[in-house]
């Protein structure tokens, strides 16, 4: 059982705003040629021409067209239908215009001779119809001349181009004179001169001449150009002249042969003579007297043969009249009971048709009440087959471009009980309108009676109601997860971070196929394995395909060929085995799109794609293990859904993901059919427009898919446009193109496509000209700068979800969960407890680095440098005090821990893994972490800043073997032998951190430090045997030198600790020994390495002036040391300035290049006190409120000490200032894109 739910949101509302006039296919369908068929292909018979429902449709063609339409029905009357038949002209056409021929003039047998007559030739014009486009007008007039030259008899012709319409009436009896006099050439010459500035005409006419002796040609411009041409031709048909022009001039007279009426056979009737009376036909301008003369009888005798008081006053052209006694012939029904029929011509009207067939107008009205296309005599349409006798109505005349209904060419009369309207139904059970066009919107689906005449509205499958089935057993909440999201430079998400409470199903996108139909997971390998192994309550479904795979080279043909009968079994087995063997819950196929004829850059699809797809799905269903789901993704576009046998597919599938997003995008640029009512395309429209979504839902449910099997698409991204006119944000405002002018998202990095997470960040941080609002499309709109974005907020998605549930749909499908919000980087796998140990080690490494930084060549700690880095360090500084390569490395190490040094603010980005198995691409069979490896490091440069990766191995976390610096100091205090033995300081976790950071190329070491020696003995031997130039390439040499100086400083020793604790200086160099606990530097990423879920900081933005990003990341933390206030520094964004200018002012100003920057000024200290080094007295006073700033002999920095004891409170704070007030001696950090600043206490 099913029932109808009528959507209360009226589809007609939006179309009422955009469409005016009668309903019909007023814009070309996607893929349809904007111009009609070529005249030389379709021929001269207008019944074979392309048929359009209104004049509006003509504007989409930029070529010259020959038109045929009813002259009697005013094109300016919007209450009437307007059938326009058209073909595209080609001046070289050899087609004979048989339609315009009439019977040649033939003298009567009595031998009477013709006489010569003259008539005035008038040129006239209007001044108020707009400027005439001379080139257009000449081209159109010359095309008319081509047609007229090849025709004979009377000609009625309309030629149309973008800016000009030409109408011509050329009577048969004046044709030769007009051609001989060159009147058409004179008219074209006049148009080509500078004289005409607006619509203009030439005419030979007058009531006394009659239509057969009339000639007129008009070139019209302006919005009503075709109406003006129609009115002029109608005037000439009725033997009168066009009046009411703004000016006129005489072109002299024309001389022509005037055959006496009794000598002329005028347009013979198709019935003469076959009745008791002999007949002739009335010509335009004839009277009873002229007719009696042609019959050769007196007027009185003529009237006796043709009685009636109004007969002589109601004569019509082509009307038969009796010249002898008897009755006029009238058409009779055909033997099968069908009526005698007649096809309406462009110059017809009912009185003329009735008179020509010796019937009355009321006969026509009565006999055609049930005739297809009959709109009464007041609305007579060209090309309509009508009854001119009693009998059953005829089949409608075929329409060359009809795709549904009885006018499809080749359609035959159906049997009894079959309605003509039901013939040739539309695909998807979509609406068929009177004009034989299929569609799903109001202009196709509005039935007669809803303010629409019967023959202008829908004829079959009418209406836009959604057909709702019983509600589903479970309302599914499905999300796609883009397994390729780690390829983005930020906004990365791990499959484990999906909130299971929000979703019932997760689709992993995408798994690829090779050309031999084998499974290929390489593009998403790491996340695929995480997905496969994920333990979750959500249904895990893998998705094959997607746009890039199925609609772009080189893989677009894999689905096309794989579903052919010869390959179907192989493809189905491959997919089914993969799903079954990996214990997945189902499979989803996303082929975009079978049978599509117009996808850019690839060959058109085949009409067989849809049936092949159906057969493949049926086969795949049989190969999946019981309980596995099978689904597909389907487009919400009528054009692309048409090739799907979707009703039959719905019977096989568990559900269909209906992609009701991307309804609009940059591809709409100058697309004439993409946006209703948008002249020329390129209007700002929402890609999640609710009206269009509901229309699409009507389409697929009418097509036969139960609503409870349809998962309605919602989006977690916006489609953005560059506004053509800043500030113009409505649905009729335009966007720029062809390339998108929208601002790129920082992570998606694609103009025209921006993630909800990026949108939220823009709203939170602000942007120039930012506006937020909703619109009639039930979308959220964001405007900033010159960018316009339509998207769905969480609240909007919730309301849409409720609506779809109420309508009986099976659920919602969200593309995609990884675009919703910024996630804390999970790749390091670090717990809060582990993060605290890394923070502690980082800070302790900073303490060592600070003391090391105080070294100066030949100073008090030189002997430690001699021992571990070689005596060449004595000459490391030049005459001006600038450090050499050793001092530069030491200084950079200091600065990565204390980035506040004004002259050299260094910020870098690093990523630390607490567990090797969390490294993307980790190979359990070939781990880098050996039994004695504490950590390993590699560099992988990022965007605008360096990226460094450190993996902390299990030995680093073996606290029975390693210790903190603080623990070592406590252990060594009072034990001088312990202090002076360097091996005791090898297990210090801070020393490992120091060692690893010395591997960071450019950020710390240049050239990059390697691993040449580890043990204290080997490090000392390296310095002694190979000198400073070699030792400075060894990371451990710097780490041990720094450690030695720290020990000397802490316990005020004059000599450094040595290998084995022997007295300084130790003896001669010894053989190398086996190293114990080691740290490893990799020359590149480990084998199988895939960039992890979050490798780079999102906030603050990289500052080109600093050449850096933010500080280091520890597991889920992005480190930022507390207390920065870089007085005088300039930043590109307020966000950057607020980080590095705490408790101070960020003032916007212009730099020397005229660019807007934010300058840090008035550092005040903010009341905090942080023990430690500061580069100068001012910095120390700002950061040492309540403590004491002292300068100590031998130290470069000002030291803050004696800060009051203050608590460190873990938690999340609004900003760095608030965090600094509550995180004393801790670390304040910003996770990637996540609101708030986190305090991690030691």
Would you please indicate which residues are annotated as catalytic (active-site) residues? 592
Query: Between the CA atoms of 914, 916, 918 and 922, what dihedral angle is there, to the nearest 10 degrees?
Result: 160
Q: How far apart are CA 1000 and CA 993, in angstroms?
A: 11
Q: How far apart are CA 1140 and CA 63, in angstroms?
A: 63
Please, are residues 322 and 278 in contact by the beta-carbon 8 Å criterion? yes
| Count of beta carbons in the 10 Å neighbourhood of residue 1087 | 11
Q: How far apart are CA 252 and CA 238, in angstroms?
A: 23
Distance of CA 191 to the CA centre of its chain: 46
Q: How far apart are CA 42 and CA 47, in angstroms?
A: 9
Measured in Å, how far apart are the chain's first and last C-alpha atoms?
67
Q: Decide the pairing of beta strands 164-170 and 200-204.
A: unpaired
For 1161, the token pair is 């000024």
Query: Between the CA atoms of 1151, 1157, 1158 and 1162, what dihedral angle is there, to the nearest 10 degrees?
Result: 0
Distance of CA 250 to the CA centre of its chain: 60
Instruction: Respond yes or no on whether the N-terminal peptide bond of residue 882 is cis (omega within 30° of 0).
Output: no
Please, are residues 23 and 433 in contact by the beta-carbon 8 Å criterion? yes
Q: How far is CA 77 from CA 21, 57, 230, in A?
A: 9, 16, 12
Q: Decide the pairing of beta strands 164-170 and 215-220.
A: antiparallel
CB within 8 Å of 1104: residues ≥ 6 apart = 944, 1132
CB within 8 Å of 1081: residues ≥ 6 apart = 936, 937, 938, 999, 1008, 1009, 1010, 1011, 1035
For 529, the token pair is 């394995």
Among residues 853, 899, 845, 904, the alpha carbon closest in space to that of 1125 is found at 899
Q: How far apart are CA 483 and CA 532, in angstroms?
A: 12
Please, are residues 237 and 211 in contact by the beta-carbon 8 Å criterion? yes
Helices 11-18 and 690-702: crossing angle, nearest 10°? Answer: 120
Strand partners, 382: none
Residue found under tokens 């003529």: 302
Please, are residues 667 and 641 in contact by the beta-carbon 8 Å criterion? no
Q: How far apart are CA 63 and CA 253, in angstroms?
A: 35
Please, are residues 902 and 1127 in contact by the beta-carbon 8 Å criterion? yes
Burial class (CB in 10 A: 0-12, 13-18, 19+), 334: middle
Strand partners, 711: 657, 811
| Count of beta carbons in the 10 Å neighbourhood of residue 142 | 18
DSSP state, 106? -
Q: How far apart are CA 962 and CA 959, in angstroms?
A: 5
Q: Decide the pairing of beta strands 1237-1240 and 753-755.
A: unpaired
For 754, the token pair is 């921006």
Instruction: Respond yes or no on whether the N-terminal peptide bond of residue 609 is cis (omega within 30° of 0).
Output: no
Instruction: Respond yes or no on whether the N-terminal peptide bond of residue 670 is cis (omega within 30° of 0).
Output: no
Q: How far apart are CA 742 and CA 751, in angstroms?
A: 5
Instruction: Respond yes or no on whether the N-terminal peptide bond of residue 37 is cis (omega within 30° of 0).
Output: no
Q: How far apart are CA 815 and CA 447, in angstroms?
A: 36
């Amino acid at each position: 059982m099913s029932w109808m739910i009528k959507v209360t949101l009226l589809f007609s509302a939006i179309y009422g705003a955009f469409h005016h006039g009668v309903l019909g296919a007023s814009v070309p369908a996607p893929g349809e040629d904007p111009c009609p068929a070529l005249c030389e292909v379709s021929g001269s018979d207008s019944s074979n021409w392309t048929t359009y429902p209104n004049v509006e449709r003509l504007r989409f063609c930029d070529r010259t067209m020959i038109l045929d339409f009813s002259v009697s029905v005013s094109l300016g009357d919007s209450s009437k239908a307007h059938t326009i038949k058209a073909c595209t002209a080609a001046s070289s056409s050899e087609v004979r215009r048989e339609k315009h021929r009439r019977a040649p003039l033939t003298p009567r047998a009595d031998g009477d001779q013709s006489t010569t007559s003259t008539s005035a030739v008038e040129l006239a014009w209007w001044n108020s119809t707009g400027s005439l486009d001379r080139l257009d007008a000449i081209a159109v007039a010359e095309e008319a001349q081509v047609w007229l030259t090849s025709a004979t008899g009377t000609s009625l012709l309309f030629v149309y181009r973008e800016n000009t319409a030409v109408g011509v009436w050329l009577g048969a009896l004046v044709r030769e004179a007009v051609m001989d006099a060159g009147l058409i050439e004179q008219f074209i010459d006049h148009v080509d001169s500078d004289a005409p500035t607006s619509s203009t005409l030439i005419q030979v006419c007058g009531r006394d001449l009659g239509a057969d002796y009339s000639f007129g040609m008009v070139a019209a411009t302006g919005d009503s150009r075709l109406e003006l041409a129609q009115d002029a031709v109608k005037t000439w048909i009725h033997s009168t002249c066009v009046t009411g022009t703004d000016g006129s001039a005489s072109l002299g007279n024309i001389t022509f042969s005037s055959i006496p009426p009794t000598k002329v056979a005028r347009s013979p009737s198709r019935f003469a003579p076959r009745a008791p009376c002999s007949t002739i036909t009335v010509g335009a301008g004839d009277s009873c007297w002229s007719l009696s003369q042609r019959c050769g009888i007196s007027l009185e005798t003529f009237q006796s043969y043709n009685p009636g008081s109004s007969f002589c006053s109601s004569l019509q052209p082509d009307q038969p009249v009796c010249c002898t006694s008897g009755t006029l012939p009238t058409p009779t029904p055909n033997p099968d009971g069908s009526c005698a029929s007649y096809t309406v011509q462009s110059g017809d009207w009912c009185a003329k048709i009735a008179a020509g067939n010796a019937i009355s107008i009321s006969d026509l009205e009565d006999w055609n009440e049930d005739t297809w296309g009959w709109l009464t005599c007041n609305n007579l349409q060209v090309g309509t087959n009508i009854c001119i006798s009693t009998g059953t109505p005829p089949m409608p005349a075929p329409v060359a471009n009809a795709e549904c209904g009885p006018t499809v060419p080749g359609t035959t009369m159906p049997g009894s009980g079959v309605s003509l309207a039901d013939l040739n139904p539309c695909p998807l059970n979509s609406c068929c309108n009177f004009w034989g066009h299929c569609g799903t919107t109001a202009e196709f689906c509005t039935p007669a009676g809803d303010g629409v005449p019967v023959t202008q509205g829908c004829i079959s499958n009418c209406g836009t109601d959604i057909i709702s089935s019983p509600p589903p057993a479970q309302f599914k909440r499905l999300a796609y997860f883009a397994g390729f999201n780690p390829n983005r430079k930020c906004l990365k998400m791990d499959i484990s971070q999906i909130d299971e409470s929000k979703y019932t199903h997760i689709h992993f996108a995408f798994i690829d196929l090779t050309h031999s139909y084998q499974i290929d997971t390489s593009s998403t390998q790491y996340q695929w394995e995480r997905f496969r192994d994920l333990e979750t309550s959500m249904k895990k479904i893998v998705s094959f395909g997607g746009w890039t795979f199925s609609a772009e080279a080189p893989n677009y043909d894999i689905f096309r060929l794989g579903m052919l009968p010869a390959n179907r079994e192989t493809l189905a087995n491959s997919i089914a085995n993969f799903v079954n063997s990996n214990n997945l819950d189902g499979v989803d196929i996303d082929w975009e799109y079978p049978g599509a004829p117009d996808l850019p850059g690839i060959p058109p699809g085949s009409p067989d794609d849809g049936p092949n797809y159906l057969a493949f799905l049926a086969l795949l269903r049989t190969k999946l293990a019981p309980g596995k789901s099978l689904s597909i993704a389907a487009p919400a576009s009528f054009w692309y859904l048409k090739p799907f046998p979707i009703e039959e597919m719905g019977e096989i599938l568990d559900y269909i993901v209906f992609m009701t997003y991307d309804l609009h995008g940059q591809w709409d640029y100058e697309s004439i059919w993409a946006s209703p009512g948008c002249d020329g395309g390129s209007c700002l429209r929402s890609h999640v427009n609710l009206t269009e979504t509901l229309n699409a839902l009507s389409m697929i449910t009418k097509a036969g898919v139960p609503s409870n099997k349809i998962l309605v698409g919602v989006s977690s991204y916006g489609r953005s446009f560059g506004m053509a006119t800043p500030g113009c944000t409505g649905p009729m405002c335009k966007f720029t193109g062809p390339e998108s002018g929208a601002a790129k998202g920082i992570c998606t990095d694609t103009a025209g496509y921006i993630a909800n997470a990026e949108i939220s960040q823009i709203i939170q941080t602000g942007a120039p000209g930012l506006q937020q609002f909703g619109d009639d499309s039930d979308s959220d709109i964001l405007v900033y700068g010159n960018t316009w974005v339509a998207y769905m907020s969480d609240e909007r998605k919730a309301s849409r979800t409720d609506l779809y549930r109420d309508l009986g749909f099976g659920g919602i499908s969200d593309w995609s969960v990884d675009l919703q919000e910024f996630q804390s980087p999970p790749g390091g796998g670090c717990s809060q407890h582990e993060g605290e140990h890394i923070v502690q080690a980082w800070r302790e490494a900073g303490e060592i680095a600070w003391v090391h930084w105080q070294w100066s060549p030949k100073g008090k700690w030189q002997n430690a440098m001699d021992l571990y880095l070689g005596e060449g360090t004595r000459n490391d500084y030049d005459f001006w005090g600038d450090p050499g390569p050793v001092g530069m490395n030491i200084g950079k190490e200091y600065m990565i821990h204390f980035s506040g040094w004004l002259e050299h603010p260094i910020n870098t980005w690093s990523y630390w893994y607490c567990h090797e198995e969390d490294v993307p691409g980790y190979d359990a069979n070939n781990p880098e972490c050996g039994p004695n490896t504490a950590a390993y490091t590699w560099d992988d440069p990022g965007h605008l800043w360096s990226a460094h990766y450190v993996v902390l191995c299990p030995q680093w976390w073996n606290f029975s073997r390693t210790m903190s610096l603080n623990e070592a100091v406590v252990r060594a205090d009072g034990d001088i032998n312990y202090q002076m033995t360097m091996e005791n300081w090898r297990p210090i976790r801070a020393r490992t951190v120091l060692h690893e950071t010395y591997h960071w190329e450019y950020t710390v070491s240049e050239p990059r430090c390697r691993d040449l020696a580890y043990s204290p003995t080997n490090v000392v031997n390296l310095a002694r045997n190979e000198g400073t130039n070699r030792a400075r390439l060894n990371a451990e040499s710097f780490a041990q030198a720094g450690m030695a100086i720290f020990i000397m400083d802490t316990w005020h020793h004059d000599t450094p600790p040595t290998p084995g604790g022997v007295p300084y200086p130790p003896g001669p160099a010894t053989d190398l020994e086996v190293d114990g606990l080691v740290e490893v530097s990799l020359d590149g990423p480990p084998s199988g390495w895939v960039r992890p879920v979050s490798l780079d900081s999102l906030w603050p933005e990289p500052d080109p002036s600093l050449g850096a990003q933010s500080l280091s990341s520890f597991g889920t933390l992005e480190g930022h040391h507390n207390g920065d206030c870089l007085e005088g520094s300039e930043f590109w964004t307020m966000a950057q300035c607020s980080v590095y200018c705490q408790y101070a002012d960020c003032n916007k100003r212009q730099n020397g290049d005229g660019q807007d920057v934010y300058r840090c000024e008035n550092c005040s200290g903010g009341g905090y006190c942080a023990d430690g080094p500061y580069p100068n007295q001012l910095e120390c006073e700002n950061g040492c409120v309540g403590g004491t700033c002292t300068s100590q002999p031998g130290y470069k920095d000002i030291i803050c000490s004696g800060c009051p004891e203050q608590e460190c409170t873990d938690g999340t704070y609004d900003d760095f200032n608030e965090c600094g007030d509550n995180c004393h001696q801790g670390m304040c950090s910003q996770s990637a894109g996540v609101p708030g600043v986190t305090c991690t206490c030691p």
